[in-house]
Chain A
Amino acid sequence: MEPILQVNALTMDFGGLRALDRLDLEIGQREIVALIGPNGAGKTTFFNCLTGIYPPTEGEMLIRRPDRKTKKLNGLKPNHVTEAGLARTFQNIRLFQNMTVLENVMIGRHCRTSAGIIGAIAKNKATRQEENKIVEDSYAVLEKIGLAEFVNEFAKNLPYGAQRRLEIARAMATEPFLLLLDEPAAGMNPLETRELDELIVRIRDQEGITILLIEHDMKLVMSLSDRIYVVDYGKKIAQGTPQEIKNNPAVIKAYLGEDADA
């Protein structure tokens, strides 16, 4: 399998603290891969390195898309990472609270459109067409994610589950090939989690988007993922299919402690 995202020996130090320790990871096209591990294992740090929020201390991150040149993610600014086709959601919801649902998604379209200051003032035909296109495309994304009913609501007035889905919709609007979901099911009730499960599979199957997710809900992780990576103290301790992970002694030890069976 040809990987579309390849991470080699990624290391991230915060002063004396090594948050990520020579982490390797590969994701193939149209895979759903989960990254799990106890709290503070460095999962979100990994996302932040990938998306350019933190510059990694060592290691390299490459994207290899079949029809394009290999691109190195190291040193790219967050917005350029998004332009390169990686979009993410956040662990604690970071929506634009005082903007409407539609406007939130319209922001996602920003990096795929180009109108500038002159265009904004002159409001010429090209700009008007682009604006209309942004609204249409954004609405289309909302329909796909199932948020069309909330289109004109303010983001802050949305129910919790819908806010989580809006984050996904906003990320989808940037036309990613790889979607990074940071604990998408956190705080959701079982029904919402089931809907999320379906949604993620649908995004993969219908849009052909590869998905990497961090998640603590083991039921969701086991049913959803093709492969799982387990990290603890910044190190990868296991990788494999859900079945393999379930029975891996190192994983059980990391989650339950040294003398779990004693």
Chain B
Amino acid sequence: MFGFEEIKKSFLTSLWFMFLTFPIMVIRVNTVQNIVEWRWERMFMIGIGSFFLSFLWRYLLERKELGQKKADLGEVDSIPWNRRIAREPRFYIPALIAICVFVLVFPFTFSLYQTTIMITALIYVITGLGLNIVVGLAGLLDLGYVAFYAVGAYSYALLNYHFGLGFWTVLPIGAGMGLIFGILLGFPVLRLKGDYLAIVTLGFGEIIRLVLENWNDFSFGPSGIANIPRPGLFGIQMSLHQATIYLYFVMIFLVLVTIFVVRRLQDSRIGRAWIALREDEVACQAMGIDKTWTKLSAFAMGATWAGMAGVVFAAKTTFINPASFTLWESIIILCVVVLGGMGSVIGVIFGALTLILLPEYLRAFSEYRLLIFGAVLVVMMVFRPGGIVSPERRIYQFKGTAPDKPKAEASTPG
């Protein structure tokens, strides 16, 4: 099945590539000596390189399709790795311990720079988990999510500037502001779905940013707000390094809280309603679910986490201006959710860590950094369209055998 035909196709691809790159890769006009240099060896390199890349690509696609066929026929004997780890205690207990130890020693063993980018990644974990409620569970494509993040950040900055409120006081206020703005945005978009919804949310995100940029009296415009204090700990004076480590642990704590709450929401009556709304809006309403309330609650619950993450962001950078809250941020957060695996908590965590840490570590490749980053995204979406971690939503499974005495249990894979 995978033989001569494929080799021929790859060969043709490489010929085509050699032809296409010929003018730039082979010919060089030396303007000093007025001669044309022919660099034929380059052509061969291109040929061989593209041949193998194309062959590898085809081979992987073929394998993926075979796997798909098997899955359709229901003859998959291997459970996805993430479920296998989650199911067997001898796998997941050591894994959990390893993760805990790593998380605890991380800021003490690695440099300040590493800790700082880890904090950024953790902020994206929280926003990703929040957006996951809106996009992954309720199926509402929200491109203006960063607006709530901005609301949280500006809540902290302004309340601190005007009233001197501290981080821990503003954290719940920021979350509450996110919630309120989530409901405010929720109302106009209740009737919309799909592409229309995406465009309206995009507009909303831009409105918030433009207001912050232009309303100088309120938000200090593009010059932003500086000297935002870091989180305090009973008024103890901390050096920059200590403050960063402290913020790191604050973030770990907040991430755990987020995971806890998001999981609980997901596995509840409300969570089921969100998923039903995503699956079929008309049927969902006909089954007695209040569409308005369900959509609003999804928006509000998602926005709450963005508001909270915004407060942390302001406290981490100690300076905010509207440039931090562009459409690009919304898209990155959306990428975190899609790349990680929609509707999957662990997936979103993986997604955030990959998307935020990868560009940092790719700095070694300097100018090729974003090229590689883009290539990784494309490859990911081709070979794992469901995300890094396939959705591991808790599935209600009925395990009672005696019909008269059913027992409700649910397995929690992943």
Listed in ascending order, the chain A residues whose CB lies under 8 Å from chain B are: 51, 53, 77-79, 82-83, 87-88, 90, 94-100, 102-103, 106-108, 110-113, 115-117, 119-121, 123, 127, 130-132, 134-136, 139-140, 143, 148, 151-152, 170-171, 174
Contact = CB atoms under 8 A, between A and B. Distances in A.
A127 B279 CA distance: 25
A87 B286 CA distance: 7
A11 to B, nearest CB: 22
Given A100-B395, A107-B276, A136-B406, A120 B285 contact: no
A116 B285 contact: no
A100 B406 contact: no
A121 B297 CA distance: 14
B408 A132 contact: yes
Contacts of B264: 120-121, 123
A108 B285 CA distance: 10
Interface string B290-333: 11000001000100000000000000000000000000000000
B284 interface: yes
Given A139-B398, A171-B287, 10 more contacts: A77-B285, A95-B280, A96-B280, A102-B398, A111-B288, A120-B264, A120-B265, A121-B264, A131-B268, A170-B287
24 contacts: A53-B285, A77-B291, A79-B287, A82-B288, A87-B288, A94-B286, A96-B276, A96-B280, A96-B284, A98-B275, A107-B272, A107-B276, A107-B284, A111-B288, A115-B270, A120-B264, A120-B265, A120-B271, A123-B264, A123-B268, A131-B268, A132-B408, A135-B406, A136-B406
A143 B276 contact: no
B90 interface: no
A53 B282 contact: yes
A97 B398 contact: no
A110 B273 contact: yes
A82 to B, nearest CB: 4
Q: Which of B269, B280, B284, B287: most chain A Cβ within 10 A?
A: B287
B294 to A, nearest CB: 9
B137 to A, nearest CB: 12
Interface string B171-189: 0000000000000000000
Contact of B287 (A111, A120, A135): A111
Interface in B363-414: 395-398, 400, 403, 406, 408
A182 to B, nearest CB: 11
Contacts of B97: none
Contact of A120 (B270, B275, B290, B395): B270
Contacts of B286: 51, 53, 78-79, 82, 87-88, 90, 94
A134 B269 contact: yes
B3 to A, nearest CB: 34
B408 A131 contact: yes
Contacts of A98: 275, 279
B283 A99 contact: no
Contact of A94 (B268, B282, B291, B297): B282
Contacts of B406: 135-136, 139-140
B287 A117 contact: no
Given A79-B290, A135-B408, A117 B280 contact: no
A103 B283 contact: no
A135 B283 contact: no
A106 B283 contact: no
B280 A94 contact: yes
Contact of B408 (A51, A113, A136): A136
